[in-house]
Amino acid sequence: MKVVFFISLFFINTFIQDKSLNIEPEKVYNLKLENDSNIILLDVRTLEEVLQNNIKNSLNINYYSENFNESINKLDKEKIYYVYCRSGRRSMNTVLLMRELGFQNSYNIDGGILKWMELELPLK
């Protein structure tokens, strides 16, 4: 019984934590990104995906690259990061990694670029 209770609490806490790490695409779009050098849009998709479409002024670090963790760790930990990928899985993993590395202001754009496009928000 205690094990089941502990496991249930673990999943509830993880869900709450993950939900607090998400931000809706509309909120990101409505930020004045080009006027704030402290905000970075981080695209963790592959180069092939980026060449198809991307959000204006985003920085690309390929999630599958050999030096991904090293590249992330070199970023300025004081900046605010909004991370996206295709659907949100790679970007959420990136945000969790960033939080472990000390990036307290890192957030997953919920639903990734697919949701961004579904909402008809502009792309580059």
What are the pLDDT digits (tens) for 79-116? 999 999 999 999 999 999 999 999 999 999 999 999 99
Q: Is 36 helix (H, G, I), strand (E, B) or coil?
A: coil
Report H helices in 21-88: 25-30, 47-52, 68-73
**Average model confidence (pLDDT) for the chain?**
87
**pLDDT the model gives residue 6:** 44
Q: Specify the pLDDT at position 50.
A: 97
Task: Provide the pLDDT confidence category of residue 21 given band limits of 50, 70 and 90.
Answer: very high
Domain 23-118 falls under CATH 3.30.750.24: no
Give the domain ranges of the chain: 23-118
| Model pTM score | 0.84
What b/e sequence results for 87-117 when a residue is b if at least 16 CB atoms lie within 10 Å of its CB, and e otherwise?
ebebbbebbbbbeeeebeebbbbbbbbebbe
Greater confidence (58 vs 124) lies with: 58
Q: Any idea which of 8-12, 35-39, 46-50, 103-107 has the lowest mean pLDDT? A: 8-12
| Total length of the chain | 124
Give dist(CA 117, CA 111) in Å, integer. 10
